[in-house]
């Protein structure tokens, strides 16, 4: 069955640097991948979607890429700020129900 994998280790970076988070899937290409932000004790908040026929999407300081050869999506935050510290979840959806299936997320900590 399809699995989605995110680095379980927290990513620590300095303010102003670019944070890059990885999401790998194991089998078939999903119809699309979504990225969400989750703060402690809160529900996830949707950030971006990228479809399998798209290579890159941008929104303000956020950029997502989708490489079907590597079976991987990268999520970048440029000019990172301490307020960007949170857990970032990757989710895939495929044909049929299109109900998102989530990875366990990667914690990002931006140090001032």
Residue ranges in contact with other proteins by CB under 8 A: 8, 32, 34, 36, 41-46, 49, 89, 93, 98-105
CB of 84 to other proteins, least distance (A): 19
Q: How many other β-carbons are positioned within 10 Å of the β-carbon of residue 104? A: 12
- SS3 at position 52: coil
DSSP 95: T
CB of 111 to other proteins, least distance (A): 21
DSSP 71: T
| Under 8 Å between Cβ of 106 and 21 | yes
CB of 49 to other proteins, least distance (A): 4
The residue among 34 and 73 lying less far from other proteins, judged by its C-beta, is 34
The residue among 18 and 53 lying less far from other proteins, judged by its C-beta, is 53
Identify which of 64, 75, 66, 59 has the alpha carbon closest to the alpha carbon of residue 108: 75
Q: What does the alpha-carbon distance between residue 31 and residue 42 come to, in Å, rounded to a whole number?
A: 27
The residue among 65 and 112 lying less far from other proteins, judged by its C-beta, is 65
The residue among 45 and 70 lying less far from other proteins, judged by its C-beta, is 45
CB of 74 to other proteins, least distance (A): 19
């Amino acid at each position: 069955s399809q699995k989605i994998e995110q680095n379980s280790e927290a990513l620590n970076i300095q303010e102003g640097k670019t944070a890059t988070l990885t999401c790998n899937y194991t089998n078939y290409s999903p119809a699309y991948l979504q990225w969400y932000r989750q703060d402690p004790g809160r529900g996830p908040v949707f950030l971006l979607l990228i479809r399998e026929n798209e290579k890159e999407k941008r929104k303000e300081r956020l950029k997502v890429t989708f490489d079907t050869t590597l079976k991987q999506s990268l999520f970048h935050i440029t000019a990172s700020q301490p307020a960007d510290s949170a857990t970032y979840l990757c989710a895939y959806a495929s044909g049929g129900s299109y109900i998102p299936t989530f990875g366990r997320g990667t914690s990002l900590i931006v140090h001032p």
